Copies of this chain bind each other. A is one copy, B any other.
Amino acid sequence: MPNSKPTPVTMDAVYTAPGYLFRRMQQIAVALFIEECKAFDLTPVQYAALVAISTHPGIDATRLSAVIAFDRSTLGNVIERLQAKEYIVRKPAAEDKRVKLLYLTKAGAAVLGDIMPSVDKAQARMLQPLKPGDRKTLLSLLTQLVDLNNEASRVPLRAEDALEHLGRSG
């Protein structure tokens, strides 16, 4: 045995791990979103939920969680907060007493229209430090990776689920 010493642990075990880098970028992305959108009192998660409800009026919570890939448990609280801010309303479904359907209010539609430029600014800022070509490359690889790893998270994205609610009385 020429060398039986254990490999010394360095911080590179953390700094070069993709998981650590994704965590950092998520922190940075949220910070930039909050900073650019501080006039609107909406978090990134609440924004995504609003967009999905706007795109799929009358969707229910379970479908919504599949469409934006957020945990159903978590989403309950998000919906409560959006309701408290009077950006959405919940109406019980006619043919299924378990289900509550989600709709944007006028105020919700208004805030969604108003916040868009700030959201775009935040999204642009987080890629800003890269050269334009690199931005495209990163976005492309990131999109592929999220798609190819879709099943790995607890709540895989099921965009097509959004259409199911159209069969309801919605």
Residue ranges of A at the interface with B (Cβ–Cβ < 8 Å) = 6, 9-11, 13-33, 44, 48, 51-52, 54-55, 67-69, 112-113, 116, 119, 122-123, 125-127, 129-130, 134, 137-139, 141-146, 148-149, 152-154, 157, 159, 162
Nearest to A47 among chain B residues (CB) is B14
C-alpha gap A164/B77 in the complex (Å): 42
Q: Is the CB of B31 within 8 A of A142?
A: no
Which of chain B's residues have a CB closer than 8 A to the CB of A126?
18-19, 22, 145, 149, 152
Q: Is the CB of A19 within 8 A of B29?
A: yes
Nearest to A69 among chain B residues (CB) is B24
Q: Is the interface of A mostly helix, strand, loop or mixed?
A: helix
Q: Is the CB of B19 within 8 A of A33?
A: yes
Q: Is the CB of A31 within 8 A of B152?
A: yes
C-alpha gap A24/B13 in the complex (Å): 22
Nearest to A24 among chain B residues (CB) is B146
Instruction: Determine how close the nearest CB of chain B comes to the CB of A128; give it in whole angstroms.
Output: 8
Instruction: Determine how close the nearest CB of chain B comes to the CB of A58; give it in whole angstroms.
Output: 16
